[in-house]
Amino acid sequence: MRTALSPLTLLLLCWGLTGCVAAYTLAQLGELDLVQTFIRREGISISVFEATGLWWIILGVTAYATGDLAARIGSGRRRAPVSRIEFNRAARLTFFAYLLLLGVSALWILTAAMQVGGLTALAANVYVDSLTTRDLLLENKLFTGMRLFYAALPATACCAAALLATGRLRRQGRWMMVLTLGVNTAALFVLPIVMSQRLLLLQLLLSVYIAACLVRGRLFGLHWLALGVVLFLGLWVAREAITNPIIQRSAFDIAAQKLAFYVVNDMFNAFAPLTQSIQHTYGGMMLEGVMFLTFTDGYFLGLLAPRLAALDVVIGGGEFPFFTAAYVDFGAIGGAAFILAIGFVLRRVFVRAHHSMGWAALYAQIGAALLFSSHSVYFTHQNFFFSLALIGAIVTLSRKRTVRVPELPEPAPLFQSRRNPRCLPDPLPDSVMRHMVIFASRHRKPGQRSVPHDKEPSHEHA
């Protein structure tokens, strides 16, 4: 389990699977007419798949593995810390956080639905023109940063799965966590059809499984993982069937070819910046989430706007993947150093996740993001940081409170002079103490009977 769920294993699994699917799609490109159509629409050139991009990915994996190895050597063997979390209190806090997040998201949808005539009219608009409906929702946000609440739903589901896996909840806590997990899954199965954030459902399903396995200390429930794959593919097919109504093809065929195109598009974004000279963005890609949460994104992104706009010629749809985003931001040397630091930090989090429910939930979010790091750098996004902050708040507020008893000073003896404090005499040496024991007085105390000797003088009996 330690190897199967380690960050390096998840990263290699993601990039290995993406590379194999992309290579197979390009080899069978003549038979995939929809993939060809999507490629021409996005302006993707097959000529970018050269050895330069491949060598950079290999260098990125090497740098990440170096940081991972350094963290493993530095951590050593440490005694497992004692859990200080009150699990039933954590269950209540998770349930209240889930109600808050879901309530804000529902209020958002109801506010937008009122402008088009109700929920029924909104659902009809989704089927007719899903992109217009999505723009309507984005224009009717209740407050700035409201999408953070919607994007944090996987975090509460992850906490619920970790708490259920502990097996230490009372009946009420178990029911609250089952409800949190079930309703969040259902909500993120329906809402992304409109919001086009299907990765949130994938984040939920993967993080829930990783958290449960880490808390149990072993891999289990592979059939649940298979059910999660079926749920995600079902959402993918439903989304493509609604957003492509003019294509006279089966929904499954459209979804399969669109998924193959997305994989090719991700690999194009990984290779294209390595084929020509670009202006590096100095954190505009990897540090955008930090800028957003520190309210400095307006300044820095405005300052980097010319450099970011120049990248349009080397990117298709979506975003740059993990390794390429580091290169675009900091160049070859700086990018490799940044990847090495990320590998070091994520391994340290993984080590802590074996001994704490809170760290297990945090790492589960990271591990899920690593499993689609060939698509985007989600673990540096503001939605991801907000989810981690929410989990950290739940764990912090759930810790057991220890009451310290103050130590009272020893009372001073009565009538002790403060000018000349009483000094205790030095202890006697061992030799003197031994002689005092050997030559102790033999005089009888009053009332003590004498013990007759074995041999007494004869005149005592005369």
Neighbour-count burial of 447, counting CB atoms closer than 10 A to its CB (0-12 exposed, 13-18 middle, 19+ buried)? exposed
pTM over 0.85: no
* Alpha helices, DSSP H, located in 167-243: 171-190, 192-195, 199-216, 222-243
| 406 three-class SS | coil
Separation between Cα atoms, residue 310 and residue 398, nearest integer Å: 48
Cβ proximity of 280 and 257 under 8 Å: no
The share of the chain scoring above pLDDT 90, in percent, equals: 48
Of 359, 378, 358, 382, nearest to 368 (Cα)?
378
> Which neighbouring-strand residues pair with 85?
399
Give me the mean pLDDT over the 91-97 stretch.
Answer: 96
pLDDT one-digit tens code per residue, 29-86: 888 889 998 899 888 888 899 899 999 999 999 999 999 999 998 776 655 555 688 9
Is it the case that residue 181 has pLDDT exceeding 90? yes
Separation between Cα atoms, residue 25 and residue 29, nearest integer Å: 6
**C-alpha pair distances (Å), 335 with each of 60, 166, 224, 378, 419:** 8, 39, 37, 17, 70
Mean per-residue pLDDT over the chain, rounded: 83
Neighbour-count burial of 92, counting CB atoms closer than 10 A to its CB (0-12 exposed, 13-18 middle, 19+ buried)? middle
Per mean pLDDT, which of 8-22, 193-207, 274-288 is the most reliable? Answer: 8-22
13-17, 156-160, 250-254, 321-325, range with the lowest pLDDT: 250-254
| 202 three-class SS | helix
Of 174, 176, 177, nearest to 158 (Cα)?
177
Look at residue 424 in the predicted model and tell me its pLDDT: 52
Give me the mean pLDDT over the 319-327 stretch.
Answer: 95
Amino acid (one-letter) located at 44? I
Look at residue 298 in the predicted model and tell me its pLDDT: 87
Query: Residue 457: which pLDDT band, with cuts at 50, 70 and 90?
Result: very low
pLDDT one-digit tens code per residue, 328-376: 999 999 999 999 999 999 999 999 998 889 999 999 999 999 999 999 9
Is it the case that residue 325 has pLDDT exceeding 90? yes
Count of residues making up the chain: 462
Look at residue 422 in the predicted model and tell me its pLDDT: 53
Neighbour-count burial of 457, counting CB atoms closer than 10 A to its CB (0-12 exposed, 13-18 middle, 19+ buried)? exposed
289 vs 428, higher pLDDT: 289
Ramachandran angles phi, psi of 399, nearest 5°: -70, 150
Give me the mean pLDDT over the 113-137 stretch.
Answer: 74
Chain centre to alpha carbon of residue 429: 65
| 399 three-class SS | strand
Look at residue 439 in the predicted model and tell me its pLDDT: 47
Q: Which residue's structure tokens are 């979010």?
A: 365
Look at residue 266 in the predicted model and tell me its pLDDT: 94
Our CA dihedral for 202, 203, 204, 209, rounded to 10 degrees, sits at 90
Is it the case that residue 382 has pLDDT exceeding 70? yes
